[in-house]
């Protein structure tokens, strides 16, 4: 299949490498022309906070032109969540249609203010294509996918045929793909786990220990389920790969940029310093914390961890006070 990958970050390149290995013809788009040239010249990418340096497949072209989308059978979105709408509008502005194409979102997030999931943002800009949209999600760090570490993920779509096409696109000996119809639950789990990864990182930075971290992660899952179900996801989805599985890998892995930004804050860095420590890398949980907080207010849901992380990130609350306050409770059953 001819595929254009939109977004030359670590996840986009990891998936590109996999698709090339599976025999597909792939072009990758990078919005920054200078970075696109540098990647084409060096043919290498280094992954965040690791020694993993990957050689880009020699047959791959990195471009900042969207022309390849016109001739592609599949389009894979791997841009940061806050860039999803602007990327779609760029496509539309150039007169590019997504009709009849397999559309895959590998972007995890909930749009601020609109509370739209990433698949909904795509459909909002390109009405009438929702049956052709699939989401690929699950516990899958780019660094490990590039090293061909055994990984299991979900292909989700409201259309079974679309989910199956996406599954076949990615499936190989080390990248296993299950099918899900609950695209709502899969996307909500993928987005909100990043919020609790920041909380887990703060616990690491404060050196509280495994007991505290386990409490934050397990209670975080409870809050994730509350939001997910009220937004239309199926509860059982959140205990699968795209919920609990993704939450675990993000909260406990050294590869996680969201956990890392939380750790920097727990160690005493300001929010701005923590962001700077990530360089050009985006921690999706920052913007998703704002969305989760506003959703809690909108639906009057009790979300103590979400609320405390919001106040740490955006209201300069002391992280120690935030962790302690998130665990305050009356005597009651779990």
Which residues are identified as catalytic? 193
User: CA-CA-CA-CA torsion for 77, 82, 85, 90, nearest 10 degrees?
Assistant: -80
Tell me the helix, strand and coil percentages in the chain, rounded to 5.
Answer: 55, 15, 30
Alpha helices in 22-171, H assignment, sequence order: 33-42, 67-70, 84-93, 118-125, 142-146, 160-170
Distance CA 133, CA 109 (A): 16
> Angle 118-125/183-206 helices, nearest 10 degrees?
130
Q: Is the separation of the CB atoms in 108 and 115 below 8 Å? A: no
Check residue 80 and give left, alpha or beta (phi > 0: left; psi -120 to 50: alpha). Answer: beta
Distance CA 316, CA 331 (A): 29
Q: Is the separation of the CB atoms in 288 and 188 below 8 Å? A: no
**How many residues make up the chain in this entry?**
334
Residue 136, classed as helix, strand or coil, is: strand
Distance CA 203, CA 173 (A): 36
Which pair of structure tokens corresponds to residue 319? 């992280």
By CB atoms closer than 10 A (0-12, 13-18, 19+), residue 128 is exposed
Cα Rg for the chain, rounded, in angstroms? 19
User: CA-CA-CA-CA torsion for 19, 23, 27, 29, nearest 10 degrees?
Assistant: 0
């Amino acid at each position: 299949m001819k595929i254009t990958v939109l977004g030359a970050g670590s996840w986009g390149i990891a998936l590109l490498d996999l698709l090339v290995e599976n025999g597909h013809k792939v072009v990758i788009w990078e919005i920054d022309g200078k970075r696109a040239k540098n990647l084409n010249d060096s043919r290498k990418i280094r992954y965040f906070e690791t020694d993993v340096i990957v050689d880009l497949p020699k047959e791959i072209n990195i471009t900042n032109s969207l022309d390849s989308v016109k001739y592609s059978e599949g389009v894979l979105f791997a841009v940061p969540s806050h860039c999803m709408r602007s990327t779609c509008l760029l496509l539309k502005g150039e007169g590019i249609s997504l009709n009849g194409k397999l559309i895959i979102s590998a972007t995890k997030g909930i749009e601020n203010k609109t509370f739209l999931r990433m698949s909904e943002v795509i459909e909002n800009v390109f009405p009438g294509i929702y049956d052709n949209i699939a989401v690929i999600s699950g516990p899958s760090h780019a660094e490990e996918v590039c090293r061909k570490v055994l990984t299991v993920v979900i292909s989700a779509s409201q259309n079974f045929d679309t989910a199956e096409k996406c599954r076949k696109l990615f499936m190989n000996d080390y990248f296993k793909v299950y099918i899900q119809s609950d695209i709502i639950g899969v996307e909500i789990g993928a987005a909100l786990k990043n919020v609790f990864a920041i909380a887990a990182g703060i616990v690491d930075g404060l050196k509280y220990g495994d007991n505290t971290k386990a409490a934050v992660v397990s209670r975080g899952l409870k809050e994730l389920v509350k939001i997910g179900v009220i937004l239309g996801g199926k509860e059982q989805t959140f205990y699968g790969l795209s919920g609990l599985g993704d939450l675990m890998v993000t909260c406990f892995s050294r590869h996680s940029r969201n956990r890392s930004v939380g750790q920097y804050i727990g160690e005493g860095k300001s929010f701005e310093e923590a962001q700077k420590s990530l360089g050009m890398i985006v921690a999706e949980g920052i913007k998703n914390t704002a969305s989760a907080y506003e959703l809690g207010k909108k639906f009057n849901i009790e979300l103590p961890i979400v609320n405390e992380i919001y106040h740490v990130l955006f209201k300069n609350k002391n992280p120690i006070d935030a962790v302690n306050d998130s665990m305050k409770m009356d005597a009651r059953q779990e």
